[in-house]
Structure 1
Amino acid sequence: MHDLTIRQTTGQPMIRQGLGGRSTTNGHIATVFGCTGFLGRYVVTKLAQLGTQVVVANRDPDEARPLKVTGDLGQIIPLEFDLRNKEQIYECVRHSDIVINLIGRDYETKNFTFEDVHVEGTRAIAEAAMEAGVSRFVQVSALNASEDSPSKFLQTKAKGEKVLSEIYPEATIVRPSIMWGHEDRFLNRIGAADGWQFWVNESQTKILPVSAVDVAKAIEVIFGAESTLGKTYELYGDRAYTYEQVYELAREISLKPLPTFNIPTPIAKLVAKGMDMLPYNQMISPDLIQRMTMDDKPTPGALTFKDLYIDPTSLEADAIHFMRRFRSNAVFDLPYEKGEGQVKKGVYHIID
């Protein structure tokens, strides 16, 4: 009987077999949308290590292929789908007892707008999951998501949450801040720019960066805890930094000058608008410039890592693992003595 778990929402039994780990099964089948993205790879790995059979819904088999090795033979099931094809979405979720939606994008394209991805995409996946009788739904949104936000990205993230709550009142929503990790678009951009990086708002925008590993760990805990049903978790780091302070930390670790150029916000938006109209995909858009001027503001009283019994990793303690590769070979092996630089000056502490 200790190998038997009953889903409270559906009464469906989950029968574990084996001694635990990726070579056994915990009785769960999870479908992960957005699995080939930055956070998605961490989430799939966490679930597979638990012995979960994971359906990796993808648009490109070549991008999903590396996920096969995160689980044992038959553990990772790749399925192609189109976000506008409800039949394909249903095929991806019909055998699962939990769906995790990580789909999102930082910029619009000629094929998919923010509304298409964050609102209508969420609606299509939630409706298919409800039709298939899926018992759990986890939605990854964004910190600062609000329908009143000046950013269309954050507006549509909030609208997606609202649509989901109407279809799945017991869905769990996760709002992470900007994330760092291998292949991120945060520390890697800073280290690789090397003189071509620009910032707005005099680099004084305050952010609460968080480790992608910690966010994946939080989703892993939510996956197995039905006490998280219907709740929203805001996941952010233990300290707030300005972009200027993050750059100072990057300079200390990479041992490179990494100069930055501050551009007036109206000019940056005008340039971004022109680049956004180019025929090929551009990741710089007026909406991105708007978000670069907005401080991270957690909701007072919101559930956080603390409520999942997780201590978030410090950026200063972890950044060396991702920034060292940007050093020259002459100084590659030098240690990083935390606290010797100027990043400690003016660090903002989060008060619960």
Structure 2
Amino acid sequence: MMRDFSSSSDRIVTVFGGSGFIGRHLVRALAREGWRVRVATRRPELAYHLQPLGKVGQIHAVQANIRFPESLAAALSGAEAAVNLVGILAETGKQSFDRVQAQGAAAVADAVKNAGIGKFVHMSAIGADANSASAYARSKALGEAAVLSATPHANILRPSVVFGPEDQFFNRFASMARLMPALPLIGGGTTRLQPVYVGDVAATASRLLAGEGRPGAVYELGGPAIRTMRELMAFVLAVTKRPRVLAPISFGLASTIGGITELANKALLGLLPAEFVFTRDQVELLKHDNVVSAEAEAEGRTLKGLGITPESMEAIVPAYLHRYRKGGQFADERLA
């Protein structure tokens, strides 16, 4: 008798921006929970790699663009739930923070409202602040406000720095250590962060869509420990076995350098290696700690509040940073 590998669930969840870093982990988590996952992205061909994460026919990609409401409506047709992961870490070309993270969030929320969908999770970030000097933080706050205005039942997720095998945090600094004799400590490296595992972020969204948590609540997600940028850099160097100088530079000097690298990258049509590019906006973000607030802790709007025990970076990160060692992943192995 032929075995049926198709999904038996009729529950459809649409994940906007599901082909990215957080998206692939969320798609896997939702598939395991029995959802039929519709990955909505500007370029569906870039989401085909997600199909093996579920049963045959359980995961499929559709074309959608936040600039075209009709494409959002089509992507949500027949769906019971939705997630918006669309976001950028730096502005490039027409992809501005305001267009993607404020206007884009509003467009998705309006589409969710018009579709009558009752379960909606929107990805934001710790530090979202309408009064921030950072354009990134302001756009995140505007996106949150638009989402809650259109869909008051929505849940907002505010993670700290997210880590995992494909992250742009630990991987970036490990790559820098491979290419440079020193790593910059912007503002002296005293900024505090609370790195959170991407699998825990995905589990949070999955639980909220399953009806756990409080509708309309903003959840702040951080790992089990708070570390300074200096401590995180030292951790990367220890794991990769790359002795490098940790060089403190002031916020003012870092902002000047950031402006220069922004101009150089534009002149080179975006071809400057990512390891050598940081922006003035990113420097602005580093002026403030990126940790879960005391209010969120007290009110249970955290991983712990949802019954999730966060994974530590020490347990996860070495497994994917080993490849940055001078002799490669197996440099320390010897024949017995």
Identify the residue that residue 172 of structure 2 maps to in structure 1: 189
CA distance in 2, matches of 1:82, 1:110: 16
CA distance 1:266–1:330, change in 2 (3 Å):
closer
Identify the residue that residue 29 of structure 1 maps to in structure 2: 12
Matched residue count: 315
Q: Indicate the structure with greater helix content.
A: 2
CA distance in 2, matches of 1:229, 1:284: 37
Identify the residue that residue 339 of structure 1 maps to in structure 2: none
CA distance in 2, matches of 1:62, 1:252: 38
Identify the residue that residue 247 of structure 1 maps to in structure 2: 233
CA distance 1:330–1:183, change in 2 (3 Å):
closer
Equivalent residue in structure 1 for 2:209, among 223, 237, 245: 223
Q: Give the 3-state SS of the residue equivalent to 1:262 in structure 2.
A: strand
AA partner of residue 215 (structure 2): L
Equivalent residue in structure 2 for 1:172, among 142, 146, 155: 155
The offset of 1:328, in angstroms, is 3.4
The offset of 1:330, in angstroms, is 7.8
Identify the residue that residue 323 of structure 1 maps to in structure 2: 321
AA partner of residue 216 (structure 1): A
* RMSD, aligned CA: 2.1
Structure 1: state its 5+ residue gaps. 1-21, 336-352
AA partner of residue 60 (structure 1): R
The aligned runs of 1:54-69 (5 Å cut-off) are 54-69=37-52
CA distance in 1, matches of 2:56, 2:200: 27
The aligned runs of 1:48-87 (5 Å cut-off) are 48-87=31-70
Identify the residue that residue 105 of structure 1 maps to in structure 2: 88
The offset of 1:334, in angstroms, is 4.6
AA partner of residue 217 (structure 2): K
Identify the residue that residue 234 of structure 1 maps to in structure 2: 220
CA distance in 2, matches of 1:331, 1:59: 35
Q: Give the 3-state SS of the residue equivalent to 1:30 in structure 2.
A: strand
CA distance 1:24–1:253, change in 2 (3 Å):
same
Q: Give the 3-state SS of the residue equivalent to 2:226 in structure 1.
A: strand
CA distance in 1, matches of 2:195, 2:305: 19
CA distance in 2, matches of 1:136, 1:230: 10
AA partner of residue 309 (structure 1): G
AA partner of residue 201 (structure 1): G
Identify the residue that residue 135 of structure 1 maps to in structure 2: 118
Output the TM-score relative to the length of structure 1. Answer: 0.84
CA distance 1:331–1:66, change in 2 (3 Å):
closer
The offset of 1:159, in angstroms, is 1.1
Output the TM-score relative to the length of structure 2. Answer: 0.88
**Contact (CA 8 Å) 1:193, 1:258: kept in 2 or not?**
no
Structure 2: state its 5+ residue gaps. none
The offset of 1:333, in angstroms, is 6.2
CA distance in 2, matches of 1:276, 1:255: 30
The offset of 1:103, in angstroms, is 0.7
Identify the residue that residue 289 of structure 1 maps to in structure 2: 283
CA distance 1:248–1:123, change in 2 (3 Å):
same
The offset of 1:75, in angstroms, is 1.0
Identify the residue that residue 299 of structure 1 maps to in structure 2: 293
CA distance in 2, matches of 1:185, 1:230: 29
CA offsets 1:11-53 (integer angstroms, 9 cap, x no match): xxxxxxxxxxx85434310000111111011001111122211
Give the fraction of aligned pairs with identical amino acids, expressed as a percent: 30
Identify the residue that residue 257 of structure 2 maps to in structure 1: 271
The offset of 1:219, in angstroms, is 1.1
CA distance in 2, matches of 1:331, 1:168: 47
CA distance in 2, matches of 1:249, 1:163: 38
